[in-house]
Amino acid sequence: MVDVLLGLQWGDEGKGKIVDFFAPQYDLIARFQGGPNAGHTLYVKDKKIVLHQIPSGIFHEKTLNLIGNGVVLDPVTLKRECETVASFGVDFRKNLYISERTNLILPTHRALDKASEASKGNEKIGSTLKGIGPAYMDKTGRNALRVGDILDKNFTTQYIKLRLKHQKLLDSMNFHEDISNWEEEFFEAVEFMRSFNIVNGEYFINEKISSGKSVMAEGAQGSMLDVDFGTFPFVTSSNTISAGVCTGLGVAPQKIREVIGVTKAYCTRVGSGPFPTELEDATGEELRKLGSEFGATTGRPRRCGWIDLVALKFAGMVNGVTQLVMTKADVLDSFTELKVCETYKINGKETSEVPYQMSKLNIEPVYKSFKGWNLDISGISAYEELPDSMKKYVAYINNYLNTKVKYISTGPGREQIILAP
Ligand code: GDP
Ligand code: IMO
Ligand code: MG
């Protein structure tokens, strides 16, 4: 069976740490969408590592890792990541598999991303500039090159053909930067990838499932960045929700068991777009400082605010979340008052539904207040020892979402996690 672990907000919920925590219980961890726009942080021997494309199970010797067909893969970033994990003694040639159907990010995709964002001016998405949008456009436009193609002797010819197409677009957007360095790196990295375990991903994963192995699908980004259900157009270009697992790995829906939704105890967003509970004041600044809220991929400061139960309930619905993990609860330790958004007020009317076009509406969050716990919880390992006011906060969220918070994360370390009864 396949359990899915994904983010319920606008990304950076702490998925990397949680997958790393769960990984010993699984035979295979598989990424099903996204690409190097993701930055999943985990700690190995007190050293911080940020993974962008390699699944977060890579540090567990007995766990295999698969980059699925739904991912857009940048060979250059992959090579760099492999070098990092190898420096920790990880034998990635043994534990990492790539689907031959995975689409490639080319240097010109990165250039197109940059040119597209520049052309949007104030309306830019705030993309990570990793080439995600243009790479997915070439997939749905049926032009893309895929990992399996690198084994074809005509790969360079195919590359040049697509590059010429891209060049015309770049010229029309007045993008004239020299990207020959990027191309040099790209071909070096493609050569490096040729000796990888490139597999027929859908057979690979289904054989594991039918022989009784346990699989965890690791989401990237968050549900509110989903191309269909997120805050369009300020979203990423893939289906980040649980349905993406089926198309991104070739797994049938009835093979999915648990859908584990990860949420911060508050909320953040990086890049442009609507964020109803954003705090542009000293409290928001405090959350950013205490939570070290700076992007793991781009280093940009993350926008911070209170937890948004309207958006979380919506994410629970579209994903079919069966259990919750609440991360970064420790970041709230020193606040005397906490707030949770229960409804949105739009044009004077309260609603508990996420509207169609959030970016065109003036949404006023309606809050319920909670007393803070004023206690350092980062060293607590038993649920019973957590302060009552925190238990009340969590119980309220459980009740509102009609789904239980099963784990509470109290720090970035692997062991800083509490099982709730
Ligand atoms: P991801 O993209 O969902 O994997 O999340 P990121 O790695 O981008 O961002 C999460 C950040 O929070 C990382 O710096 C983690 O080390 C850190 N983190 C994860 N869980 C916790 C937690 O419970 N408490 C604190 N203080 N930090 C955490
Ligand atoms: P993880 O997996 C947070 C955001 C970007 C931008 C929008 C589109 O670490 O949670 P893209 O580069 O995908 O075209 O950017 O999506 N974004 C993320 N925000 N965490 C991520 O990944 C993100 N990946 C993309 O900031 O607003
Ligand atoms: Mg991240």
pLDDT digits (tens, 9 = 90+) for 218-274: 999 999 999 999 999 999 999 999 999 999 999 999 999 999 999 999 999 999 999
Ligand 1 centroid to Cα of residue 41, in Å, is: 6
Ligand 3 centroid to Cα of residue 174, in Å, is: 32
Ligand 1 centroid to Cα of residue 86, in Å, is: 23
**Does the Cβ of 116 fall within 6 Å of ligand 2?**
no
Q: Per the omega criterion (within 30 degrees of 0), is the bond before 233 cis? A: yes
| Residue ranges covered by each domain of the chain | 2-100+198-259, 103-193, 263-419
**Does the Cβ of 19 fall within 6 Å of ligand 2?**
no
Question: Which of the residue ranges 191-205, 251-265, 288-302 would you say has the lowest mean pLDDT?
Answer: 288-302
Scanning 146-212, the segments in alpha helix (DSSP H) are 155-172, 180-193, 201-210
Question: Of the ligands numbered here, which is closest to the C-alpha atom of 238?
Answer: 2
> What DSSP string runs through 286-344?
HHHHHTT-B-TTT-PBPEEE-EEHHHHHHHHHHHT--EEEEE-GGGGTT-SEEEEEEEE
**Does the Cβ of 39 fall within 6 Å of ligand 2?**
yes
Which residue's alpha carbon is at the smallest distance from atom 27 of ligand 2? 271
Strand partners for 267:
305
* This prediction's pTM: 0.97
Share of the chain above pLDDT 70, in %: 100
**Does the Cβ of 126 fall within 6 Å of ligand 2?**
yes
CATH architecture group of domain 103-193: Orthogonal Bundle (1.10)
Which residue's alpha carbon is at the smallest distance from atom 23 of ligand 2? 221
- Identify the pLDDT of residue 352: 98
Ligand 3 centroid to Cα of residue 388, in Å, is: 30
- Tell me which of 299 and 290 has the higher pLDDT: 290
Out of 48, 236, 326, 327, give the residue to mutate to test ligand 1, the one with the largest number of ligand atoms within 8 Å of its CB.
327
**Does the Cβ of 35 fall within 6 Å of ligand 2?**
no
pLDDT digits 0-9 by tens, 27-66: 999 999 999 999 999 999 899 999 999 999 999 999 999 9
| CA pair distance 190, 244, nearest whole angstrom | 26
Ligand 3 centroid to Cα of residue 171, in Å, is: 33
Closest CA to 244 of 262, 232, 259, 233: 259
Which DSSP helix (H) or strand (E) runs through 4? strand 2-7
**Does the Cβ of 263 fall within 6 Å of ligand 2?**
no
Choosing from 40, 52, 60, 166, which is the catalytic residue?
Answer: 40
| CA pair distance 103, 242, nearest whole angstrom | 20
Cα distances (Å, whole numbers) of residue 366 to 198, 239, 267, 293:
50, 29, 15, 24
Q: Are 269 and 330 within 8 A, CB to CB?
A: no
SS3 track for 236-278: CCCCCCCHHHHHHHCCCHHHEEEEEEEEECCEEECCCCCCCCE
Index of the ligand 2 atom closest to the CA of residue 113 = 14
> What DSSP string runs through 66-92?
EE-TTBEE-HHHHHHHHHHHHTTT--H
Which residue's alpha carbon is at the smallest distance from atom 10 of ligand 1? 14
Question: Of the ligands numbered here, which is closest to the C-alpha atom of 300?
Answer: 2
Would you call 27 a catalytic residue per the annotation?
A: no
- Identify the pLDDT of residue 412: 97
Q: What does the CA dihedral 313, 316, 317, 320 come to, rounded to 10 degrees?
A: -160
What the block records as the tokens of 1 is 């069976």
Closest CA to 338 of 277, 276, 269, 263: 277
Q: Are 205 and 249 within 8 A, CB to CB?
A: yes
CATH class belonging to 263-419: alpha beta
| SS3 state of residue 32 | coil
Q: How confident is residue 101, by pLDDT bands cut at 50, 70 and 90?
A: very high
Residues around ion ligand 3, judged by CB within 5 A, are 12, 39, 296
| CA pair distance 33, 31, nearest whole angstrom | 6
Would you call 12 a catalytic residue per the annotation?
A: yes
- Please give the CATH number for the structural domain made up of 2-100+198-259: 3.40.440.10
